[in-house]
């Protein structure tokens, strides 16, 4: 790997500043999903078990550089303690006297959570002074927050240049999975890209067509490509102003020897609501008074057949309006086929993006994929081929 990992790292008695992503969903003061905390726990357990003083820092929500009590990390620190099954200390600030005193009181193997880094305006500005304040608390820096690696902030980028730096186990797992997906994939490799608008996925499509053999386009954005080719799509959501761009993408993909797979048939309805009357038609026969809300069974069969030829699959975006039944059918059917191929050892499958993760959980196959990234924006920017500051800082000498 281009970054140093925890393998062989001696941390006994050392102060380790661990950048985590504790920005968990909260509703009515209660954490509704512990996934990010649970995925972080192996790194903390390993460091603590080796005798390190583990100092966890993270942002939470968007306090915009001000102290907002409702955005304190104290409840999250309690939740971390529950997941770890041990006491976790808490510091009222992430730098300065309060943080320094809390670190000084930490025993070998102890775990401490610092207050929200975004309570300081310098966090999002990557202020050198804040980075120095964080670095002063530790001997070693470990970044385990790939989901925040697309931000050049003081705790994700600045502090890495001030201390010996390493990737935590979650960061390592993300980078390994992404390398298998697009960095050095087994071929043939395909990507599934869904979403509502072509205009929001231009960089993604441009990067993927240069790296994959097959690019599957689903979601409402597929409607724009169909319409750009002269097909009538009725009242379907589509971007008429993007037709020229869609045709350019198709031409560039052909030049790059990338096959673009568009829907062959579609599930249509006259209203977008749960379980309305539907009509499945060829994409050449979409009724003028209806809208495309999912790809049809012929399209699913075509994509499933392609799985037998693939070695690697990257997935970002559902095929249809999966939140509203029955327009989840195609996504669920394909997800199960991908999971089966993965479990059979025939396919490396890497997926990410909020809607994609939700769709895979809805299909009941999230645990059967090779890797499911919860990194959101960082995962998308990586797919777009962008440099992630948090990762680049770890690669620096």
Report the catalytic residues.
36, 197, 354, 377
> Please, where are the H alpha helices in the chain?
35-49, 74-84, 96-104, 128-135, 169-178, 202-208, 221-228, 243-255, 297-307, 329-343, 354-363, 377-383, 389-395
Spell out the residues 6+ positions from residue 37 whose beta carbon is closer than 8 angstroms to its own.
Answer: 22, 24, 31, 76, 79, 80, 83
Query: Distance between CA 251 and CA 206 in Å, rounded?
Result: 12
Query: Distance between CA 67 and CA 124 in Å, rounded?
Result: 14
Residue with tokens 């441009």: 206
Residue with tokens 């201390």: 163
Query: Distance between CA 76 and CA 342 in Å, rounded?
Result: 34
Length of the chain: 397
Q: Which of 116, 159, 167, 137 is nearest to 53 (CA)?
A: 137
Q: Is the Cβ–Cβ distance between 141 and 165 less than 8 Å? A: yes
Query: Distance between CA 174 and CA 197 in Å, rounded?
Result: 27
Query: Distance between CA 348 and CA 234 in Å, rounded?
Result: 37
- The alpha carbon of 227 is separated from its chain's Cα centroid by a whole number of angstroms, namely 30
Q: Is the Cβ–Cβ distance between 198 and 246 less than 8 Å? A: yes
Main-chain dihedrals φ then ψ at residue 77, nearest 5 degrees: -65, -40
Query: Distance between CA 251 and CA 184 in Å, rounded?
Result: 25
């Amino acid at each position: 790997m281009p970054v140093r990992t925890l393998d062989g790292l001696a941390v006994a008695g050392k102060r380790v500043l661990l950048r985590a992503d504790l920005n968990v969903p909260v509703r009515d003061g209660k954490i509704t999903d512990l996934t990010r905390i649970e995925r972080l726990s192996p790194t903390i357990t390993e460091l603590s078990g080796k005798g390190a003083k583990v100092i966890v820092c993270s942002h939470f929500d968007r306090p915009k550089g001000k102290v907002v009590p409702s955005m304190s990390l104290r409840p999250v620190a309690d939740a971390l303690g529950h997941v770890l099954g041990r006491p976790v200390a808490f510091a009222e600030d992430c730098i300065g006297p309060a943080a320094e005193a809390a670190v000084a009181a930490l025993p070998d193997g102890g775990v401490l959570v610092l207050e929200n880094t975004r309570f300081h305006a310098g966090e999002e500005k990557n202020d050198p002074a804040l980075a120095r304040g964080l670095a002063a608390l530790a001997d070693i820096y470990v970044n385990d927050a790939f989901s925040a690696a697309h931000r050049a902030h003081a705790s994700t980028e600045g502090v890495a240049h001030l201390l010996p730096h390493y990737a935590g186990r979650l960061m390592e797992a993300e980078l390994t999975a992404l390398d298998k997906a697009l960095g050095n994939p087994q071929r043939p490799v395909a990507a599934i890209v869904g979403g509502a608008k072509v205009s929001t996925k231009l960089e993604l499509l441009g990067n993927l067509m240069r790296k994959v053999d097959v690019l599957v386009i689903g979601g409402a954005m597929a409607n724009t490509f169909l319409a750009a080719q002269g097909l009538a799509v009725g009242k379907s959501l589509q971007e008429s102003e993007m037709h020229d761009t869609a045709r350019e993408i198709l031409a560039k993909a052909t030049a790059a020897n990338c096959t673009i797979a568009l829907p062959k048939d579609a599930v249509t309805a006259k209203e977008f609501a749960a379980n309305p009357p539907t009509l499945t038609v060829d994409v050449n026969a979409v009724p003028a008074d209806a809208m495309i809300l999912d790809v049809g069974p012929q399209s699913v069969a075509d994509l499933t057949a392609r799985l037998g030829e693939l070695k690697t699959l990257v997935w970002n975006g559902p095929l249809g309006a999966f939140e509203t039944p029955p327009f989840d059918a195609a996504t669920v059917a394909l997800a199960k086929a991908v999971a089966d191929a993965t479990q059979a050892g025939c396919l490396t499958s890497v997926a990410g993006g909020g809607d994609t993760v939700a769709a895979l959980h809805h299909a009941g196959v999230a645990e059967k994929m090779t890797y499911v990234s919860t990194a959101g924006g960082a995962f998308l920017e990586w797919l777009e081929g962008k440099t992630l500051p948090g990762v680049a800082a770890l690669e620096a000498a």
